[in-house]
Amino acid sequence: MKGKIAVVTGAGSGIGLAVARRLAAEGAEVLSVDLDISACAGTAVAADLGDAAGVDAVVRAVTDRYGAADVLVNNAAVAPYRDTFTDIDDAAWQRTWEVNVMSCVRLCRALIPLMAGRGGGSVVNIGSEAARHPKHYMLDYAVSKAALLSLTKGLAQEYGPRGVRVNTVAPGPTRTATMNAYLASVADRLGIDVSTAADHVVHELRRLPLGRMNEPEDVAEVVLFLASDRARQVTGSEYAVNAGSTASM
């Protein structure tokens, strides 16, 4: 990745931070984007990607500093938990759609043509196994991640001839802040500690064949592969990083 310019959104923590660090370790110049940039790796831009103005600020930062990007990792997302589908009101649906889908659409629309103009590049959209196995308590999130699969395949078809590859990485249970909040809710509901709740999720609720959740770094390794020239023949694909959870459902 030496000499490559990589833009990573949602890079302040969790998967995004792990991806930014991994790309930087392989020599990429990383532009990290998040609402809170205090922990970001590389050059950082504070932006709310839930509206067009936030995306425009990121695009300006990329073009002013680098001219274009070689890699775009669309990781920024919101994923709140609710009790029921009816708890998700219109405002929540709209916010999820704007952050999880439209930020990707807007960044791709601005940056992919620039990638193509300088010979190609790689886009990695961070999806979720929820796209194929939706849960009622975060249905807006699941729908948004399903939309990314279509976005990925459509862009791969259009821009493959111009050297831009577009793929999705779909993590399963991963120890991020969102997962930790979920585990805390499980622990509270069952009257157990968080560590026991994690074991319950892995072995009872999800029956993960590998017997453990992802760490963010596990996802970052697959993103690194897709971002690199080692994946030069891979586009329009969905890579599941889920400890085998799909196979167990």
Rounded distance, CA 188 to CA 190, Å?
A: 6
- Mean pLDDT of the chain, nearest integer: 95
249 confidence band (pLDDT: 50, 70, 90) = low
Rounded distance, CA 231 to CA 78, Å?
A: 28
By percentage, how much of the chain surpasses pLDDT 90? 86
Q: With CA atoms as reference, report the closest residue to 209 among 249, 170, 171, 176.
A: 249
Query: Is residue 248 over pLDDT 60?
Result: no
**What is the identity of the amino acid at 176?**
T
pLDDT tens digits for 202-238?
998 888 999 999 999 999 999 999 999 999 999 999 9
CA distances from 129 to 68, 99, 104, 108, 191 (A): 31, 18, 18, 22, 28
Q: With CA atoms as reference, report the closest residue to 229 among 54, 26, 8.
A: 26
- Cα 102 to the center of its chain, rounded Å: 13
127 confidence band (pLDDT: 50, 70, 90) = very high
Rounded distance, CA 18 to CA 229, Å?
A: 20
Catalytically annotated residues: 141
Query: Is residue 239 over pLDDT 70?
Result: yes
* pTM attached to this predicted model: 0.95
Q: Which residues contact 97 (CB under 8 A, 6 or more apart)?
A: 140, 144
The predicted model gives 72-100 an average pLDDT of 94
Q: With CA atoms as reference, report the closest residue to 173 among 233, 240, 87, 74.
A: 240
pLDDT tens digits for 12-28?
999 999 999 999 999 99
The predicted model gives 162-183 an average pLDDT of 93
CA distances from 162 to 37, 113, 155 (A): 33, 9, 11
